[in-house]
A and B are shown apart, each in its own frame.
Chain A
Amino acid sequence: MTQPEMPILESPNCPLPIADRGQIVLGHGSGGLMTHDLIRDVFQSRLSNLILNSANDAAKITEAPPGKHLVISTDAHIIFPLFFAGGDIGRLAVCGTVNDVAMLGAEPRFLTATFILEEGFAINELEMVIDSFAEACQEAGVELIAADTKVTEKGKSDKLFISTTGFGWADSNLRIGGEQAKPGDAVIISGPVGNHGVAVAEARGNLGFSSQVRSDIAPLNHMVKALLDAGLDVHVLRDPTRGGLATTLVEIARQSGVNIELDEEKIPVDKPVLKTCELLGLDPLYMANEGKLILILPTNQAEDALRIMRSTLYGEQARLIGQVLEPSKGQIWLKTPFGTTRVLEMLAGEMLPRIC
């Protein structure tokens, strides 16, 4: 069978977008040939799996195994710039949602994603993002089972927004949550804090110098699984993202109705993070993290928990940083190295550097 001959269009105002140009054009959102090509070449080539490959309008997944609950979390990822030392929006979109699912003690299994593309966004940058999205899925052990792309006119969005929803199974008997911290519990952080916040500030050109700090973005589900497989009585798991360690702990203290005492000297902060924060008048305890978790569990299990965390990829520098005190309205007390204490509050708004 011979192909019908294509008509030759020579009009200078050709209404058809040019298919092979290196950036997103509105035609990529048409639902037609260009959309299919974009999905095939950029997405399916990198994120292939049986469910996604079926190319239906929805994904069928198996029901939760007996004794397990379905756990769902959703998150929209908007970050400027898209690329920064240690990660990009692709890795962030996977790890952010995977970690939220894991913080309820669940094993994340599936993701769905929506990619909002701005007209004019470079396709090679999109490919870089999807490469790292796929790599993070593989590392976390999750499959992308449904996805959508939309294209906005230039100026109606900003290059690329990614919204992801994560699904996982959790043991039905688990009682993990921000309201479960009990007096006498130990408070553990899985590693040094503040790296993501500093790395992103630097990528925004806000520092005026190179801090050498890399974002800590990482999937934490394997660490969580190791802790639960060991049979530890985990009370609280939470990743201290926006607002940092201090804000997240205030949330937990209020939810649980307990005071928490932290030992400032024991909180791990990398030197370049500390120096950058000192210079700009920022506080590492309020800087964002994307690959750290706070673990609260009975003090007599703290040593076991630390040993397990330190044997995992992202928990080598896990530290015991404080303890849960008596029931109360929920305050965080920080013991300084000077033997004084101060109360930590939530971050009020954007953290702004000082003037002189």
Chain B
Amino acid sequence: MTESPTNLRDASLTKAIMAEIRRITTQAWNIMEICGGQTHAIMQYGLDQLLPPEITLIHGPGCPVCVTSLQAIEQGLQIACQNEVIFTTFGDMLRVPGNQADLFSARSQGADVRVVYSPLDSLKIANANPDKQVVFFAIGFETTAPTIASTILTASKSGIDNFSILPANVLVPPAMHTILSNPANRVQGFLAAGHVCAVMGYHEYLPIAEQYQIPIVVTGFEPVDLAAGILMTVQQLESGQHQVANAYPRFVTREGNQVAQQIISQVFEPVDRQWRGIGTIPLSGLGLRPEYANFNALSRFELSETPLNESPLCIAGKVLSGVAKPLDCPAFGKDCTPTHPLGAPMVSSEGACAAYYRYHRTRE
């Protein structure tokens, strides 16, 4: 890292960039920040309050636990509740509601559910518990995929046969296609997620910008980064351009981290995947290649089909595809709160509804 986060939180620099945005804005523009981490940063610093009223930020689907399908969560719950299983997951996943239960309640019923910070920790647990099956819930975007892939390579090389994953990783570009081809789409510019681009580069976005005539700006997570990303997007919108630009060059190159990409494609291949609230998006998920299929937990456990019931009140799908904002939901803050979430976006530290609940309550 070349600059400390503290400098990137410089209030006067952020305000100066915001003033420039106000100066050049002549009409209304809708810009989507794809990543939920960016949504939270925008809310936490109140950056939306500094934008001119013409600029609307639309919150994107970039929240890993929010888009993990109900089916995958139900499968995870069934696996976690089996004897001799240690079910490992990123912490955010614990509170996401399935049909009736979440992983927290499974744990309170005696399931061995453990929070890990990396799939490599799951592999350590597998090593230390040879008599147990250790399953890792593989969720996330292109950011978590390289570590998960390299964990599988390590397990494969060292012959650890009591480790497997429940595959649920998803990819950003197919989701952008889905959003842009929706007739109700309002998005006119994208802030691409800096962390995802650090892995994948941004060359994948060039055909999207061209096809939909839309500017895409790779953007970081600190206030100065976000202000700069918005400014570069508005500059393009105001001048009628549709380029892919990079406002996060200290971490992101055009080609990205090619070692990481190579590891991902060695272990995974694109498959159709269900996105919660959005539906199936073709080739939007990462499935295990045939040579690593034995690491798929779904082939190791007998699971029963469960009917999938979403709360009829929850509008998570609309929120995740940028068609509605959390405050448009009649259940927001009433039937649906972080303590009693109806949908995943109210749970996750990257969910748009949780961000609104935490940072955007109005003064009363």
Contact pick for B364, options A275, A278, A328, A354, CB 8 Å? A328
A336-B90 in contact (CB<8A): no
CA distance A342 to B361 in the complex (A): 8
**Complex CA–CA separation, A278 to B140 (angstroms):** 19
For residue A183, give the distance in angstroms from its CB to the closest CB of chain B: 16
Point out the residue from A281, A336, A349 that lies within 8 Å of B338, measured CB to CB.
Answer: A349
Q: Which residues of A contact B363 (CB under 8 A)?
A: 331, 333, 341, 343
Cβ of B43 under 8 Å from chain A: yes
Pick the contact of A349: B14, B47, B65, B95 (CB < 8 A): B95
A353 engages B9 (CB within 8 Å): no
Instruction: Report the separation of the CA atoms of residues A329 and B46 in the bound assembly, to the nearest whole angstrom.
Output: 23
Complex: A281 Cα to B348 Cα, angstroms? 11
Residue in chain A with minimal CB distance to B115: A352
- Find A208's partner among B118, B143, B359 (CB 8 Å cutoff): B118
The proximity string for B residues 172-198 relative to A, scoring 1 for CB distances below 8 Å and 0 otherwise, is 000000000000000000000001100
Residues in B with CB closer than 8 Å to A356 are 37, 64, 140-141, 143-144, 195-196
Number of A-B contacts (CB under 8 A): 94
- Per the bound structure, the CA–CA distance linking A355 and B89 in Å amounts to 10
With A281-B37, A348-B339, A356-B195 as given contacts, are A339 and B364 in contact (CB-CB < 8 Å)? no
Contact string, B341-358, partner A, CB cutoff 8 A, digits 1/0? 000000011100000011
**Is A339 a contact partner of B50 (Cβ separation < 8 A)?**
yes
List chain A residues, Cβ under 8 A from B212.
none
A206, A341, A342, A356 pick with most chain B CB within 10 angstroms = A356
Q: For the complex, what is the distance from the CA of A338 to the CA of B9, rounded to whole Å?
A: 9
Q: Can you name the residue of chain B whose Cβ is closest to the Cβ of A353?
A: B91
Say how far B103's CB is from chain A's closest CB, in angstroms: 11
- Chain B residues with Cβ below 8 Å from A208 are 117-118
> Do B50 and A355 touch across chains, with their CB atoms under 8 A apart?
no
> What B residues does A339 contact at CB under 8 A?
11, 15, 50
Per-position 1/0 for B140-168, Cβ under 8 A of A: 11011000000000000000000000000
Are B43 and A338 in contact, CB atoms less than 8 angstroms apart?
no
**Chain A residues with CB under 8 A of B301:** none
Q: How many residues of B contact A (CB 8 A)?
A: 46
Asked if B319 is at the interface of the complex by the 8 Å CB criterion, the answer is no
Partner of B350, one of A275, A342, A354: A354
A350 CB contacts on chain B under 8 angstroms: 91, 94
Taking a contact as CB atoms under 8 Å apart, the answer to whether A340 and B358 are in contact is no
The answer to whether A338 touches B45, judged by C-beta atoms less than 8 angstroms apart, is yes
A337 sits at the interface (CB 8 A): yes
Complex Cα distance, B118 from A206, in Å, reads 10
Chain A residues, Cβ within 8 Å of B361: 331, 343, 345
Q: Please tell me if the beta carbons of A329 and B364 are within 8 angstroms of each other in the complex.
A: yes
B46/A341 in contact, CB under 8 A: yes
Of chain A, the residue at the smallest CB distance from B195 is A356
- Chain A residue numbers with a CB within 8 Å of B359 are 342-343
CB nearest to B118 among chain A residues: A208
Given contacts A278-B5, A281-B37, A345-B357, contact A353 B349 (CB under 8 A): yes
- B339 proximity list for chain A (CB < 8 A): 348-349
Given contact pairs A342-B360, A345-B361, A354 touches B47 in the complex (Cβ within 8 A): no
Q: Is B30 close to A, CB under 8 A?
A: no
Q: How far is the CB of A70 from chain B (nearest CB, A)?
A: 36
Q: Which of B46, B139, B223, B349 contacts A281 (CB 8 A)?
A: B349
Partner of B47, one of A338, A343, A352: A338
B235 CB-CB contact with A under 8 Å: no
**Binary contact track B23-34/A, C-beta < 8 Å → 1, others 0:** 000000000000
Q: Indicate whether B112 reaches chain A with its CB closer than 8 angstroms.
A: no
Chain B residues numbered 1-59 whose CB sits less than 8 Å from any CB in chain A: 5, 9, 11, 14-15, 37, 40, 43-47, 49-50
Do A348 and B92 touch (CB < 8 A)?
no
CA distance A345 to B360 in the complex (A): 10
- A342: which B residues are within 8 A, CB to CB? 43-44, 46, 359-360
B337 at the interface (CB under 8 A from A): yes
Known: A341-B46, A354-B350. Is A348-B90 also a contact (CB below 8 A)?
A: no
Contacts of A336 in B (CB 8 A): 11, 45-46
- Smallest CB-CB separation from B11: which chain A residue? A337
Interface centre among B37, B44, B349 (most CB of A within 10 A): B349
Contact B143 A352 (CB under 8 A): no
Q: Complex: how many Å from CA A339 to CA B16?
A: 13
What residues on B are CB-neighbors of A354 within 8 Å?
A: 37, 92, 348-350
Most chain B beta-carbon neighbours within 10 Å: one of A207, A333, A348: A348
Residue in chain B with minimal CB distance to A347: B338
Query: A352 — which chain B residues lie within 8 A by C-beta?
Result: 91-92, 94-95, 115, 349
Q: Are A338 and B64 within 8 A (Cβ)?
A: no
Give the residues from 61 to 111 in chain B that come closer than 8 angstroms, CB to CB, to chain A: 64-65, 90-92, 94-95
Bound CA–CA A87/B337 (angstroms): 35
In the complex formed, the residue of A with least CB distance to B193 is: A356
Chain A, residues 266-282, CB within 8 Å of chain B (1/0): the string is: 00000000010010010
In the complex formed, the residue of B with least CB distance to A341 is B46
Interface centre among A206, A338, A343, A349 (most CB of B within 10 A): A338
Chain A residue nearest to B349 (CB atoms) is A354
Is the pair B9, A337 in contact by a Cβ cutoff of 8 Å? Answer: yes
Contact across chains for B94 and A338 when beta carbons are under 8 A apart? no
Interface-centre pick from B46, B339, B348 (highest chain A CB count, 10 A) = B46
Which residue of chain B has the shortest Cβ distance to A340 in the bound complex?
Answer: B46
* A118 and B64 alpha carbons, distance in the complex (Å): 40
Residues of A within 8 Å of B117, CB to CB, are 206-208, 353
Complex CA distance for A339 and B331, rounded to whole angstroms:
31
Chain B residues, CB < 8 A from A333: 363
Chain A residues in 8 Å Cβ range of B348: 354
The 8 lowest CB-CB distance pairs between A and B, nearest first, are: A340-B46, A348-B338, A352-B91, A356-B143, A337-B11, A340-B49, A343-B361, A354-B349
Residues of B within 8 A of A (CB): 5, 9, 11, 14-15, 37, 40, 43-47, 49-50, 64-65, 90-92, 94-95, 115, 117-118, 139-141, 143-144, 195-196, 223, 337-339, 348-350, 357-364
* Subset of 13 A-B contacts with CB under 8 Å: A206-B117, A208-B117, A331-B363, A336-B46, A337-B9, A338-B15, A340-B50, A341-B46, A341-B49, A343-B363, A353-B117, A355-B64, A355-B144
